[in-house]
């Protein structure tokens, strides 16, 4: 079992397979970074798999593949199969913008993928184009339909932004209701890479929008999930709110993150990381395991998106979400 320096059990590994993306979301990567990580610096699937095995052997039970856009990485189904064959009961999930999903959903399912989180911020083509930087709604919706058709578990992520998609909170939720899939509203997390003019919505403002139409009941957090769940009285539908600005958000944090270059990151907010690249390139299992142990010891108690001390100037994280995988 993996325990961090604050006594929390860590069983969830998120792997960013590439920082590259075919979208330019305003809250993540409004412009292409000055330079991409050179392709030769990316860990190969074999190298990533060596670390995955170390993690699984030591207590990881859930793996999420993310990015950037993970569907841009060639041979993804082969990597999914490697992990699945090593531990078939692993909870293996992927987060994607779904642009390329419709043609690969079946292949990913056959390889062993169980679940998908898909980003959907609006149902209006022009609003999606404004947020994502290009006109992508139709292929995204096609991707969602295909994922459901092939039997993959689907959850939708929506980041509500003031003056952009805040009037669509109920509409996107009802789209999910009709398809019996869960939506999680994610509070916009301020970071230095995002478009400066963006204003996110606080969790309570998001809930107010839902309450204009429905009566809601708080259900609470589901284990170590970052999502605080609510149910709708009128029809029993359940949705989630990911609220990293709330002070108890980090109490049960169970995750670590690995970037495509091999940086092992203990917390989404902070820049601190240690590299496993040398170890996995040399096939050094013991070395990779030692880095993992050190990163767990160093895992911070909490992020700094909390707003407990209003006298403090608001901190802005310099972490790039497209690099760490959100």
Choose among 242, 228, 240, 245: nearest CA to 190: 245
Alpha-carbon span 36 to 113, nearest angstrom: 28
DSSP, res 191: B
The nearer residue to ligand SF4, 90 or 260, going by C-beta atoms, is 260
For residue 156, state whether it binds ligand SF4 (rule: CB under 6 A). Answer: no
Cβ neighbors of 186 (< 8 A, separation 6 or more) are 157, 158, 159, 242
Does 18 contact ligand SF4 by CB under 6 A?
A: no
Kindly write out the interface string for residues 40-79 of this chain, putting x where it contacts ligand SAM by CB under 6 A and - elsewhere.
--------------------------xx-x----------
* Nearer residue to ligand SAM within complex by CB, 31 or 234: 31
Q: Which residues have a Cβ under 8 Å from the Cβ of 166 and sit 6 or more positions away?
A: 160, 201, 205, 209
Count, in order, helices (H) and strands (E) of the chain.
Answer: 10, 12
Select from 2, 10, 17, 25 the one that contacts ligand SF4 (CB under 6 A).
Answer: 25
Which of 29, 128, 256, 264 touches ligand SF4 by CB under 6 A? 29
Q: Which residue has 């990293």 as its token pair?
A: 244
Rounded-to-integer distance, Cα 86 and Cα 269, Å: 31
CA distance 154 to 129: 23
Least distance in angstroms from the C-beta of 95 to ligand SAM: 4
Q: What is the DSSP letter of 172?
A: H
Task: Decide if residue 194 touches ligand SF4 (CB under 6 A).
Answer: no
Give which of ligand SAM, ligand SF4, none residue 280 binds (C-beta under 5 to 8 Å, depending on kind).
none
Stretch touching ligand SF4 by CB under 6 A, among 66-74, 211-219, 250-258, 301-309? 66-74
Say whether residue 159 binds ligand SAM (CB under 6 A).
yes
Sequence-ordered list of residues with C-beta below 8 angstroms from that of 135, at least 6 positions apart, any chain? 125, 128, 129
CB of 7 to ligand SAM, least distance (A): 27
> Which of these segments, 46-54, 89-97, 100-108, 256-264, binds ligand SAM (CB under 6 A)?
89-97
| Minimum CB–partner distance for residue 196 and ligand SAM (Å) | 12
Which residues of the chain form contacts with ligand SF4 (CB under 6 A)?
Answer: 21, 23-25, 28-29, 67-69, 97, 119, 321-322
């Amino acid at each position: 079992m993996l325990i961090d320096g604050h006594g929390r059990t860590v069983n969830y590994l998120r792997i960013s397979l590439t920082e590259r993306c075919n979208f330019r979301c305003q809250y993540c990567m409004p412009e292409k970074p000055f330079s991409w990580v050179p392709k030769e610096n990316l860990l190969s699937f074999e190298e990533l798999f060596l670390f995955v095995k170390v993690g699984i052997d030591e207590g990881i039970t859930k793996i999420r593949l993310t990015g950037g856009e993970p569907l841009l990485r060639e041979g993804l189904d082969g990597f999914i199969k490697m992990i699945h064959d090593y531990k078939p009961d692993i909870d293996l999930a992927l987060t994607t913008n779904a642009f390329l999903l419709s043609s690969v959903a079946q292949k990913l399912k056959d390889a062993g993928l169980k679940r998908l989180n898909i980003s959907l911020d609006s149902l209006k083509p022009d609003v999606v184009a404004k947020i994502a930087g290009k006109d992508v709604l139709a292929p995204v919706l096609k991707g969602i339909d295909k994922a459901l058709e092939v039997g993959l578990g689907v959850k939708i992520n929506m980041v509500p932004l003031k003056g952009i998609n805040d009037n669509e909170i109920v509409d996107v939720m009802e789209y999910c209701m009709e398809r019996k899939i869960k939506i999680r509203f994610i509070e916009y997390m301020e970071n230095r890479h995002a478009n400066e003019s963006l204003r996110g919505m606080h969790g309570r403002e998001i809930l107010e929008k839902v309450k204009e139409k429905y009566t809601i009941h708080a259900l609470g957090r589901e284990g170590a999930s970052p999502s605080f769940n609510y149910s709708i009285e009128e029809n029993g539908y359940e949705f989630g709110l990911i609220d990293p600005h709330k002070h108890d958000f980090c109490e049960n944090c169970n995750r670590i993150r690995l970037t495509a270059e091999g940086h092992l990151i203990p917390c989404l907010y902070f820049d601190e990381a240690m590299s496993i690249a040398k170890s996995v390139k040399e096939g050094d299992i013991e070395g990779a395991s030692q880095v993992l142990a050190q990163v767990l010891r160093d895992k911070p108690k909490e992020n700094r998106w909390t707003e407990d001390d209003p006298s403090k100037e608001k901190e802005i994280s310099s972490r790039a979400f497209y690099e760490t995988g959100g």
